[in-house]
Every structure is written in structure tokens, then in C-alpha cells.
Amino acid sequence: MAPRKPRASSRNPELIHGIGKYSRSKMYHKRGIWAVKAKHGGVFPLHEPKAAAPTPAEKPPKYYPAEDVKHPIPNRRKHKLTKLRASITPGTVLILLAGRFMGKRVVFLKQLPSGLLLVTGPFKINGVPLRRVNQAYVIATSTKVDISGVNAEKFDDKYFTKEKKKKNKKGESEFFETEEETKALPREKKDDQKALDTPLIKAIEAVPDLKAYLGARFSLRAGMKPHELVF
């Protein structure tokens, strides 16, 4: 017979977790094993066991540790993606609270698989490039920008990782030289920034004063109480 779909629910309703309504013998009858056996002359039909692939002969190890070595149980837990605050949706204007761009108002693009937020100035407006930012260091305003023309598909965490510096093991003389090579930003990244920002800037210029708003930094003035401010 062609392989049939397995049954959707169990034939044995659960009374309580771990205890079914029917006993073993009743279940045997319900599943119809007796009918299958009768069809095949008193024996439940089994597939022929697959011939096991011959395992290569293992060499006895050279070294046995003196006492039993404890192995930690492998941790197979996977993190869930950081829950995004309900106030942060693609196109939201965020206020950065820490770091080099403290106080800058930026546009949120999407959440990356690591949980960090992908954000852009846009660069021409306030100097903030495509950047990753942690949700905790951000205030979400209720201002939204139309982000439908923007394609941020190709950006992920790998795009932003620093390149590993090669360690020079030889040459003690190089210890005394300052090894500061400020790498210029590769042309590709500049092009990516421009490609992403152009439709975004067009959408921003459609709203009056929004461009100046994004260019200005946020700061607390006298009389502003953060817990009473509506963002």
C-alpha cells in the first residue's frame, strides 16, 4: 500500500497528563493490530532489517585518563529573537541615547537576526550611517517615515562585523611602531549607503520640517520632565 498520512490525533484521549483513557489491551484492539495480523497469517508484517553498513574497526585509545572525566551536557538551547517594543515599527524615528551619535534622531529600518536594530541617519541629513543599535539605548518617537521605497533586505549582522586583524607573531620591532592603519571606508559601503538613502530622503522631504528635525539633536531643556514627555 502507498504510505498513508499518519493519524491526526491519538486514539487514546488524555484524562490527565500521562494517563490515557484506555488500557494497553484496549488500545491494541482499537489500533486494529489483530486485523493486520489476521491479514498476514498471524504475524505482524515487518520490513526486512536493513543490512547495517560495516563499521570500521576502532583502534583502542593510546591514553586513558586516571580518573573519570566529567563531560558537561551540551547546551542546545537557542535564543529567541529579542522582542521588539510595540512602539518601534519600520520607519519610526528613534532618538539615540548613547554613543557617538547621542541625541541624534534616526530612522529605524528593521530588526537584524541578532536582535539589534538597523538604523540610518540618513547619512546626508545627520551624519549617522547605516548602523546597528541596541533597543535599550533608544527612545522611540511616534513620528513615522514612509519607508516603502527603501530596500534593506541585503543588510544583516555579517555586513557589520569588524574584520579580524591578523596577529603579527614575528617582529618585536613592530611593537614599538604604532600600528594604526585607519582604513578608509570601502567604496561598496558608500554606495550601499547612498542606494538606501536616496528613496528615504525623498520620502523625508515630502514632509515639511522633517528634514530639519532629523538634522537636529535632542536634548533636555529646563522644565522638561522625561517621565511626563510624550515622545
Partner 1 sequence: MPFKRYVEIGRVALVNYGKDYGRLVVIVDVIDQNRALVDAPDMVRGQMNFKRLSLTDIKIDIPRLPKKKSLIAAMEATDVKNKWENSSWGRKLIVQKRRASLNDFDRFKVMLARIKRGGAIQQELAKLKKQNAS
- Smallest gap from Cβ 224 to partner 1, in A, equals 9
| 73-to-76, 77, 97 alpha-carbon distances in Å | 9, 12, 40
* Nearer to partner 1 among residue 114 and residue 143 (C-beta): 143
Residue 142 lies near partner 1 (rule: CB under 8 A): yes
For 78-110, letters b (16+ CB in 10 Å) and e give eeeeeeeeeebebbbbbbbbeeebeebbbbbbb
Distance separating alpha carbons of residues 120 and 203, to the nearest angstrom: 14
Binding residue for partner 1, selected from 24, 158, 209, 227, defined by CB under 8 A: 209
* Nearer to partner 1 among residue 106 and residue 112 (C-beta): 106
Binding residue for partner 1, selected from 22, 137, 160, 218, defined by CB under 8 A: 218
Burial class from Cβ neighbours inside 10 Å (0-12, 13-18, 19+) for residue 137 reads middle
Of 25-33, 79-87, 159-167, 209-217, which segment contacts partner 1 by CB under 8 A?
209-217
Binding residue for partner 1, selected from 213, 220, 222, 226, defined by CB under 8 A: 213
Of 119-127, 136-144, 163-171, 185-193, which segment contacts partner 1 by CB under 8 A?
136-144
Interface positions, 56-115, toward partner 1 (CB under 8 A): 93, 95, 105
Residue 230 lies near partner 1 (rule: CB under 8 A): yes
* Nearer to partner 1 among residue 111 and residue 141 (C-beta): 141
Write the Ramachandran bin of 228: left for phi over 0, alpha for psi from -120 to 50, otherwise beta: alpha
Residue 150 lies near partner 1 (rule: CB under 8 A): no
* Nearer to partner 1 among residue 32 and residue 103 (C-beta): 103
User: Is-contact 231 139, C-beta < 8 A?
Assistant: yes
For residue 14, the cross-strand partners are: 20
Of 20-28, 73-81, 153-161, 205-213, which segment contacts partner 1 by CB under 8 A?
205-213
Which positions lie near partner 1, rule CB under 8 A?
A: 93, 95, 105, 141-143, 209-210, 212-213, 216, 218, 228-231
